[in-house]
Amino acid sequence: MDRELNEKFSLDGSRVLVIGGAGFIGSYVVELLLKENVKEVIIYDNFVRGKYENIKDYLNDGRCYVYPYGGDIRDIDILESAFKGVDYVFHLAAMWLLHCKEYPLTAFEVNIRGTFNVLEAARKNNVKKIIFSSSASVYGDAIYSPMKEDHPFNNKNFYGATKISGEALCQSYYYSYGIPIISLRYANVYGYRQDESGAYTGVIPTLLNKIDKKEDITIYGDGSQKYDFIYVKDVALANIMALKSDVEFGYYNVGTGMQTSIKELVELILRLTNSDLPIYYKPYNENDDRQFVKNRVLDVSKAYQDLGFKYHYSLEDGLKETINLRNLNKKES
Q: Give the closest residue to 229 by CA, choosing from 269, 195, 196, 199.
A: 269
Residue 133 falls inside a structural domain: yes
d(CA 148, CA 298): 7
Residue 285 DSSP label:
P
State the residue range of the domain holding 120: 2-189+230-255+297-312
Q: What is the DSSP string of 80-92?
A: HHHTTT--EEEE-
Q: Could you read off the pLDDT of 16-63 as tens digits, one per residue?
A: 999 999 999 999 999 999 999 999 999 999 999 999 999 999 999 999
Question: Which amino acid, residue 304?
Answer: Y
Average pLDDT, stretch 186-208?
84
Residue 103 falls inside a structural domain: yes
Residue 180 falls inside a structural domain: yes
> Which residues, at least 6 apart from 331, have a Cβ–Cβ distance to it below 8 Å?
none
Q: Could you read off the pLDDT of 53-107 as tens digits, one per residue?
A: 999 999 999 999 999 999 999 999 999 999 999 999 999 999 988 889 899 999 9
Residue 108 falls inside a structural domain: yes
Residue 283 falls inside a structural domain: no
13 Rama class: left (phi>0) / alpha (psi -120 to 50) / beta? left
Residue 330 falls inside a structural domain: no
Q: Could you read off the pLDDT of 230-242 as tens digits, one per residue?
A: 999 999 999 999 9
In 3-state terms, what secondary structure has residue 330? helix
| H helix and E strand count, the chain | 13, 14
* pLDDT > 70: percent of the chain: 95
pTM: 0.95
Please classify residue 220 by burial: count the beta carbons closer than 10 Å to its beta carbon, then call 0-12 exposed, 13-18 middle and 19+ buried.
middle
Whether residue 159 lies in the annotated active site: yes
Q: Give the closest residue to 183 by CA, choosing from 254, 256, 100.
A: 254
Residue 17 falls inside a structural domain: yes
Q: Could you read off the pLDDT of 284-306 as tens digits, one per residue?
A: 877 776 667 889 999 999 999 99
Residue 116 falls inside a structural domain: yes
d(CA 191, CA 27): 12
Mean pLDDT (the chain) is 93
What per-residue confidence (pLDDT) applies to 135?
A: 97
CATH number at residue 15: 3.40.50.720
Average pLDDT, stretch 271-280?
94
Structural domains in the chain (count): 1
Q: Which of 44, 58, 67, 159 is catalytic?
A: 159
